[in-house]
């Protein structure tokens, strides 16, 4: 009787392993869906961003600006096609939190007052 149960368990485990392999192969064939953040293109120091965002390490703010030159300091600059693309970005909708505060990022649309950046950002 116990040999019979062991045999059934081995068969069931074999079926599960085969099923998992087929699922994994199927998932690998599925095209990767582009998210809204895929519409963002990372920019490097010295590049001109016609419309995009920039933030820095240890910041709780993200600047949303037009026509700026990416500064020569460590930063995270992205170019977007439209405000609609930015408004779907994880930082904008609150899905990505500031590592500094653990709260949603503050959005800045200017370079003055509470939105004065820690490093100069040159507008074109």
Q: Which residues contact residue 45 at a Cβ distance below 8 angstroms, ignoring those fewer than 6 apart?
A: 70, 71, 72, 73, 75
Q: Report the pLDDT value the prediction gives residue 104, as an integer from 0 to 100.
A: 95
Could you tell me the CA-to-CA distances from 36 to 86, 90, 91, 92, 120 in Å, in that order?
A: 8, 9, 12, 11, 28
Q: Domain locations in the chain?
A: 1-30, 36-123
pLDDT for position 44: 96
What pLDDT is stored for residue 12 in this prediction?
Answer: 60
Classified as helix, coil or strand, 86 is helix
pLDDT of residue 88: 92
Give me 28's structure tokens. Answer: 């690998």
Q: With a cut of 70, list the residues of the chain below it in pLDDT.
A: 1, 6-7, 9-10, 12-38
């Amino acid at each position: 009787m116990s040999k019979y149960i062991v045999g059934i368990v081995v068969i069931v485990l074999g079926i599960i392993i085969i099923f998992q392999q087929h699922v994994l192969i199927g998932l690998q064939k599925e095209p990767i869906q582009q998210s809204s953040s895929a519409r963002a293109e990372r920019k490097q120091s010295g590049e001109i961003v016609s419309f995009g965002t920039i933030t820095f390490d240890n910041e709780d703010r993200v600047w949303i600006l037009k026509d700026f030159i990416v500064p020569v300091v460590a930063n995270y600059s992205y170019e977007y096609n439209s405000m609609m693309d930015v408004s779907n970005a994880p930082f904008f909708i609150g899905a990505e939190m500031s590592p500094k505060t653990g709260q949603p990022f503050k959005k800045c649309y200017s370079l003055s007052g509470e939105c004065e950046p820690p490093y100069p950002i040159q507008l074109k």
